[in-house]
Amino acid sequence: MAGREADDIPEYSDAEAQATHLNEMAELHRLLLPPAGEAGDDLDALRQLLAEVERNNELTQVRRLLVGPEQDGLTALRTRLEDPRHRAEDIAEVLAEAVVLRSAQDKKLTKALAPAIAEALTISIKKDPKALIDILFPIIGSMIRKAIATVLGSMVQSLNQTLEHSFSIQGLKWRLEARATGKPFAEVVLLHTLVYQVEQVFLIHKNTGLMLEHVTAANIEARDPDLISGMLTAIQDFVHDSFAVGQGESLETLRVGEVNVWIEAGPLAVVAMVIRGTAPAEARLAMIDAIEAIHLEAGEALEAFQGDATVFAGVRPHLESCLMSQYGARQKEAGFKLHPALAGTLAVVGVALVVWLWWGWRDARRWEAYVERLHREPGIVVTFSSQQGGRFILRGLRDPLAVDPQSLAAGFKVDPNRIETRWEPYQAMASQFVLARASRVLHPPPTVTMSLEGTVLHLSGTASAAWIRDAGRLAQGVAGIESLDGSQLKDSDQAEMTEETARLEKQVIQFAVGSAAPLPGQEAVLQEVARHCQRLGELARRLERQVAVTISGFTDETGTETTNSRLSQKRAETVRLWLLQNGVSGVMLQAQGSAPQTPVRSPETEPVVARRVSFQVNLR
């Protein structure tokens, strides 16, 4: 153990330390007690020695007494050390502990052992490879499968990508399924394209070809499985012997039409599966799992098999787990697949169709809402409405005063240009229409308010006598009005006449002493008088009356009566003339003089004005 790598291992093991110690002890012992052999060569020396021994006999005895037991112990130890079998026994006793201790310290022991173990394995494999294969068989499968699964995973990934670009109705369904189940798309495609059933599973003893166990699918009737087991074994042997195949290789698949026989061989037993259809790779994995599990569980029974297969009943579940099947939808013989361009066109057409239908639906909704609105609109009676080839048709009656139906269309997002209408005019009897019509005929002044009560038109407020007179006549011709009530209506002209008369009669034109010409600044008053006269004339004409304004001239108390009389007459004439010259017409103007009178006082604070002209209105 320490021989090869002694340089690397300066420390000695416990056994070696012990041996060193014992060597030292033996040397000491030899010095103390020289062995008899050394003296035996020379007789003289022997004699001398014997004499000496005799001489020292007592001393020797003393020595024996002193070191005797130690000497025996040392002799025993020496014998032990010189005997290789004993040494091996000693080392074997502590070897395991020593290895554990050393391994805990550092890796030197492992390093030292590595080449030897490698060599030992090489020799072992060369000698009998089957032994190692048998040892590794139950675990190596899962190791390899794990590695292969990684590679296959990436392959499936790329297959996935390839399939991503293909488009078909079926594909779309599978894609939805993949999304729903969370499986890769490629896996879903494979599942659907593979339809199979594992009909029978055989467990066959490899050496004898005898059937150990056999399971069948529920609907399958198996014929002589033990004979088939034998035949399968024979066929395997035949293939193996007839064709130069390597050691450990065997027939894996038989195929006739749609029946496949899959064979998976372990070191001691073989699982064979009869499959109808195309089974997926998982089925093979299930077989491998089964055979591995069976070897683990029943390896010893397989080795010791002497023809009694009943002991293998316990492995049935492993075989049953291989009874897989897939009854998916069988792929159609000619898969319906669309050319991408056609598919694209169809998609565009489909989208367009949907949009078009949606537009149509939306237009219909809007049209219905619009027609509904027209039904509620006063003054409009829809007798027919329809949608024909993108155009809207409306027929009915419409009061000319009703709202324009086209103008409402915009509110409902209906294109007015697409509406064809034919409205028959009629007169609506709803009160707002009767009033509107009356308003259009009567043209009432803003001071007049109209209201309808049944068929009676009530008027209130003020209006000119002429309008009142005309209204009574015109109202008879308005549809929906049978009579007029004007009792609440006042004649505005009469009232104004009274107001104008009062205003005019308050006016006074003033004159200087002894003069018939108005005082400077009286021009504005004259203008005012002229306006009142003119208005009076108009009102009198409308009321079909005649109005006369008497213009009276006055003087102060100074001067003679004759002079004053003449002066007053002249002052009145001057004003009359001015009014006539300034366009007053339609009013009879009369000028008259008078004797001096009591000065006239204005109502408030105006000083007494004697020299003046005043007015008086007479209505006839």
Partner 1 sequence: MIQKKICMLGAFAVGKTSLVVQFVKSIFSEKYHTTVGVKIDKKTLRVAEQDVMCILWDLHGEDEFQKVQMSYLRGAAGYLLVIDGTRRESLETAIRLQKNVETTVGRIPFVAVLNKSDLHDLWELDDSQLKALEAQGWNFIRTSAKTGMGVEESFRMLAEKML
Residues that bind partner 1 (CB under 8 A): 205-211, 223-224, 226-227, 230-231, 234-235, 237-238, 240-241, 306-310
CB of 261 to partner 1, least distance (A): 14
Of 3 and 307, nearer to partner 1 (C-beta) is 307
- Toward partner 1, which CB reaches closer, 227 or 346? 227
Q: Return the number of the residue (199 or 289) whose C-beta is nearest partner 1.
A: 199
* Smallest distance from partner 1 to CB 85, Å: 38
C-beta separation of 410 from 381 below 8 A: no
* Burial readout 302-313 (b: 16 or more C-beta within 10 A, e: otherwise): beebeeebeebe
Maximum CA pair distance of the chain? 228
Q: How far is the CB of 253 from partner 1 (least distance, A)?
A: 17
Rounded to a whole number of angstroms, the minimum distance from the CB of residue 211 to partner 1 is: 7
Q: Of the two residues 254 and 580, which places its CB atom closer to partner 1 in the complex? A: 254
The residue among 82 and 221 lying less far from partner 1, judged by its C-beta, is 221
Nearer to partner 1, 265 or 463 (CB): 265
Rounded least distance, CB 264 to partner 1, Å: 19
Within 10 angstroms of residue 457's Cβ, the number of other Cβ atoms is: 23
**Distance in Å, CB of 229 to partner 1, minimum:** 8
Whole-number minimum distance, CB 308 to partner 1, in Å? 6
Nearest-approach distance from CB 305 to partner 1, in angstroms: 9
Nearest to 206 by CA among 227, 232, 225: 232
Q: Quote the tokens at residue 163.
A: 């399939």
Closest CA to 260 of 247, 288, 232, 279: 279
8 Å CB contact between 579 and 529: yes
Q: Which residues 6+ apart lie within 8 Å of 572 measured at CB?
A: 551, 552, 553, 591, 592, 593, 613
213 versus 496: smaller Cβ distance to partner 1: 213
User: Min. distance of Cβ 223 from partner 1 in angstroms?
Assistant: 7
Query: What is the rounded CA–CA span in Å between residue 594 and residue 331?
Result: 136
Q: What is the dihedral of CA 119, 120, 123, 129, to 10 degrees?
A: -120
Six token digits for residue 19: 């041996």
Helix (H) or strand (E) holding 253: strand 253-256
Task: Quote the least distance from Cβ 209 to partner 1, whole Å.
Answer: 6
Task: Return the residue matching tokens 């399924």.
Answer: 177
Cα–Cα distance, 478 to 470 (Å, whole number): 13
> Which C-beta is closer to partner 1: that of 200 or that of 325?
200
Pick between residue 207 and residue 602 the one whose CB is nearest to partner 1.
207
Using an 8 Å Cβ cutoff, are 474 and 466 in contact? no
Going by C-alpha positions, the residue among 505, 503, 516, 493 that lies closest to residue 593 is 516
Measured from the CB atom, is 312 or 370 closer to partner 1? 312
- List Cβ neighbours of 530 (8 Å cut-off, separation of 6 or more): 579, 582, 583, 584
Nearer to partner 1, 220 or 441 (CB): 220
For every residue of 467-511, DSSP letters joined together read: HHHHHHHHGGGSTT--EEEEEEEEEHHHHHHHHHHHHHHT-EEEB
Phi, psi at residue 533, to the nearest 5°? -65, -45
Nearest alpha-carbon partner for 236 in 278, 264, 203, 215: 264
Give burial (CB, 10 Å; 0-12/13-18/19+) of 487. exposed
- Min. distance of Cβ 228 from partner 1 in angstroms? 8
